[in-house]
Each structure stands twice: as C-alpha cells, then as structure tokens.
Amino acid sequence: MDIRITEIVINKKMGKKEARFALFISLLFAVMLAFSSFPAGAEFIKANITASIQQEYPASDVVRGWINISLKNEPLESQLSTSFNYSITLSSILQENNLLSKLTCKSSLCNSTFLKIQLEPAGLQLPSDYGNYTLRIMLGSAEIISQNITIVLIPRINSISPSIVPAAVPADFVAYASPVKNSTIVEYEWSFGDGSAAEKAGTNTASHAYSAVGEYALKVSVKDSQGRRASREFAISVVSPASFANSSIKDKKAYMQNASSQIMLLPEWQREFVSSQLNMQGIDSQLSALQESYNLAATAQEYAGIMGNLTALDVPKSIIQSSTTVIDIRFSVIPASIDMSKLKNAGAGSYNANNSAEYKDAIASWFALNADASFSLKTILAELDNNDILDVATGIKLKIKPKQQLENVYLVVEKKPSEIKFKNIEVKDINASAAVFAQLPASAEKEIEFIVKGAYGIDDIFSLVYLSPKLSELGLDIQIEPCNFNSACEKELGETWKNCRKDCKPVGLTILYIILIVAGAFVAYIILQEWYKKHYESSLFKNKNDLYNLLSFIDNAKKQGINEGEIARKLREMRWSGEQVGYALRKYKGERTGMWEIPLFRGRERALVKREILKRPGITLPPAPPGPGFAPNR
C-alpha cells in the first residue's frame, strides 16, 4: 500500500531567488508525482488534520473520534485496525457511517473523495489495564495516525437514549454508565447544550424540552462513590414535532410489521397467544388513532400532544427466540408444589385436609414409581422500541412415559387460563382461575406442549407443574372428610357447618351473634348515657336543691308570660353561668341535656321535675347561686 503525501511550505523570510528555486523544485516534484505509477491504497493529506482522536478513556472503552481519508483502488475487505489487535472491515465501518454511497467501485476495488469516518461505531476495543499507551490506527498496512492515549481509573459512560428528540416536547433521557469495580455511580449531571442550567440527579434519567430545532451537544458527567468523575458529550438532533411525529409513526408501524412477520414464524398454535401477550391488536389500534390525529393536526401544540402519546407507547421491535433450547431435563413432582384443593376441584377426589402433607408425599412417590418424565424449554422475548427486552412467554414440552398401564392422570399448571395455551388439549379452569387442568390418558408415552406467559427457568417448572392419579389410588388409609369445597351445602352428603364450614355457612348462628352484639352495644350505650348525665349534672349543680330552685323559678316565670330570653338574663344577673342556665331550661322542657340519648327514662325524669317544682311554689324571684366562685360566668 502506498501513502501519498503532499506538503508545500514557502517561508516568507526566503529571498526571491530561494523562493523561486523552492517553487521550481516543488512543481518538478508534483509533475513527477503525477506521472509516477503507485500501487493501490488509501490516500490522505498529511499536511492537514487527518484525525481527531480522544486521548483519555476509562478501562475497556472503545476508540472515539474520526479520521479523514480518501480511497484509491481499495478493496472493501481491507481491515481498519488498531495496535491493540482489534479490527473491522472497511465496508462495515463505511456502512456504519452511511458512506457506502460515496464510493465508486469497479471489480471490488473502490475509489472516493475524502471521507470523514466516525470511529466509535467500529467498536475498536481499548485495554482494560490502566496506564499510558500508543494508539496506532491503520488501513491495511498503512498507518493513518499514531497518538498517545491514557486509560484512567474513572467511570465509563457508554451511551444515552434517545439521540433524536422533538422540539418543545419534554424528552426523557437515559444515560448508561459503568462504574469502576467496587464503586457505584452516585451523581449524574446533565448539560443540555442549549444554554439552560445544568441539572444534577442521583439517578441516570433526566427530562428536558429543547425549545428550538437544531443540533445540540449534550454533556453527561458522572461521579462515583469514590469521588472519581467522568464526562462525555453526545450529539442530539432536535427536530420539529410534526416531522418527528410523522417519522415516529412510520418507525413504529415498521417495527410492528417486523414483529408480526416474526410471530408468523412461530408454530401456528402459539401465534395468537404471543400476539395477545404483546397486545399487538391494541397497539395497532392506537397507532391508527395517532395516525388519524396526525393527519388532522395543524398546530405545534397538537403535534406535541401526539408526540407525548407516541413516546408513552412501547412497540415491539422484534421477536427473539432463545438461541439455545433446554432439552430433556428430568422432571419429578415436588410435594411442596402441590395444591390439594386444586386437585380435588379438578376431579381427582376428596381428601382429608388434616393429612395434606401425607397426600402430597404419596403423590410424589406415586409419580416416581409409575412414570418417567422430562421437559424442554424455549423462551420467547421481544425487543421494544425503547430498547427494553420483554419476557413474553416460555414454550414448554413435557414428555411422560408410563412404566405400567395407568388410569387417568391429572395435570395441573399453576397459571391463569389467560396466561397459558395448550397444544391440542382441552383444559379446565379450576379454583377461581388459579390453575388449569388437563386429564390425560396414560397408557402410552405422551408429549404435552404448552406455552405460558413470562420467562421460566428450569427450577421454576417444578413449582409450576405437577401430576397426580385419582387420590383413591394412593392407598392411604385415611378417613375422607365429607366436605367437597364446591361452595354448595350438600346435606345429603353429610356436609354441615360443623364439618364443612367452607360450603355450609352457619346462618342462624351468625344472626344470633349479630343480635347479641347489637343488644350488648344498646345496653352499654344506655349505661354510658346515664352515667354521663349524672356526672355532668353533678358538675354543674353540686347541690340538687339549687337545680330544683332554678326549675321552680323558671316554671313560675313561664306562668307569668316571661320569655326564655328574659328568664336567662335575670338568672345571669344573679351570677348563674350560661351553661347552668341553658341546662336548667333544657331540663325544664324535657329536652336532651347531654350526649345523644335513647329516651328510655325521660318520662320518669319529667315526673321527678314536676314533683320538685310543686314542693317550691313560692319561688318568684331568681335564686342566688350557692356562693361566689361556685359557677363563674362562662
């Protein structure tokens, strides 16, 4: 490979003869270059800046920066490499930079004008050990640049998302950073490059709205628990909400189409299940509605609203089936996983709840003696357009080989019917949608395939699935309880509220309990009200005669046509308190004098008041309180 170098320098301090001579030599050298025959190879101008390479890196980072080269008769298979033994083909790095269209190729040899190539997409790995290094970047055997770099003990900022956002709409940014060993990232600082104040946070997320369309340099700085800092700039493209909404709708529709086509590659019986778990139909309807809203939108505010809805809508980008399938793992029934009530509801028979543990152990032993079984797993994932990976479903194949002729076998899978789909087997929902059940003929080897929502590992299957025979076949000499837990009280089967409280509710006893509770509360309240009245009255009138003297005065005043206001005024003039006067007036009229009353004894109280008034017929003037300070004015 040949590197062409052109460098012409004329010193202004030269004399005219020296300058002419230098110019002549340079022109002669240029003519010689023009008529020389060079082998094919990359070409770049060394007199100008040919590269800009970052000098300081965290451990195990990749080369960042750019190089500027032109190509002449260069094969696309040539390797762009570093002195650290990492490389990428020329075609790959040009494709990552969207520069393949700039080439003119003939017979696999390509030519181009000068191309500015960003190196970060190449993923050229740097050392993991800290220290100073010399980085050499080469195309084939020709060196493009040699530069000193340093690997420092600082956190590594890998990337941010998103890199394209709409103007005037808050965008949620996420920074992905890797801390140094034995430390954590404790602070993130965001400088958005638009003149706004930097924001600090303890998490890796930030929300920001750019007010104008354009290109911005977003700088993310991090600090770890040891006080070490690192920062990195990212290019952010801010576009109009209208154009961003349009491109987002198109992208999401394309993602949906891709995911749908990949779902069609699944076995036919799994397709509908996977689609429903991803809500493909619902997402498609939402996209159609957003497309219609976009077509009708006319203002920036309307486009911004559409963008907000699009941002919140996570769309499956692709469907991923696990590349490795777990095959033929030995299966056994684990006693702790068995739910006896679900087996009973499935039709396996009744059992004594007090001996559940014995039944579970017997079922596990029965399965080990009478059948060999194994299972296989395959996980289905979905990559969303926000780059999250969603655990969609797990395909399970269970192989059962009886060791001898068996009657029906009951299979229970602890999943709701909406979260499971069997292949060619009818299932029964048992125990309020807590499990599904299949009754299997067990005279020959049987393969059972089903798919369940979510991701399951090997250990999870043993708590998810169990099998059992008829409980009567277990040979346990245990008295079976009459209760069948079907929510119906079947007296003909011997079910009563004493032996089957689940099915037979003690209605009469419950009503009796309620009556007793209400009666007790009634009596307690009456006792409380009478206690309160007695103590409240005693606190106002330590001598009962004072109260009855007031009542006698009120009675005589009423007979003379004096209104209550005048009566109250006269009593207060005699230094009776407002609370005492109010109490006496209410008691005279037979009204409630304390807490809310159940008026059981009100008639007796009125009769007592009348008798006491009759004993004091001559009290026409307001009686005086029993002494100063007895009841100060309130």
Number of C-beta neighbours around residue 1 at 10 A: 16
pLDDT of 550 higher than 50: yes
Decide if 420 contacts 452 (C-beta within 8 A): yes
Q: In what order do the strands lie in the sheet with 56-58?
A: 56-58, 142-152, 131-139, 79-82, 87-89
pLDDT at residue 431 in the model? 57
- Mean pLDDT over 589-598 rounds to 69
Beta bridge pairs of residue 390: 382
The pair of three-digit structure tokens given for residue 71, joined into one six-digit string: 């190509």
- The H-or-E segment that residue 116 falls in is strand 115-118
Percent of the chain scored above 70 by pLDDT? 79
Gap between the Cα atoms of 483 and 490, Å rounded: 9
Decide if 616 contacts 552 (C-beta within 8 A): yes
pLDDT of 112 higher than 90: yes
Contacts of 298 (CB under 8 A, 6+ apart): none
Name the one residue in this structure whose structure tokens are 């778990």.
277
Give, as one character, the DSSP assignment of residue 306.
H
Beta strands 115-118; 65-72: pairing state: antiparallel
Decide if 230 contacts 156 (C-beta within 8 A): yes
- Mean pLDDT over 178-183 rounds to 89
222-257 residue pLDDT tens: 999 999 999 999 999 999 889 889 999 999 999 999
pLDDT band at 124 (very low <50, low <70, confident <90, very high): very high
The pair of three-digit structure tokens given for residue 9, joined into one six-digit string: 């320098």
pTM of the model: 0.53
Decide if 301 contacts 337 (C-beta within 8 A): no
pLDDT at residue 151 in the model? 92
272-300 residue pLDDT tens: 999 999 999 999 999 999 999 999 999 88
pLDDT of 424 higher than 60: yes
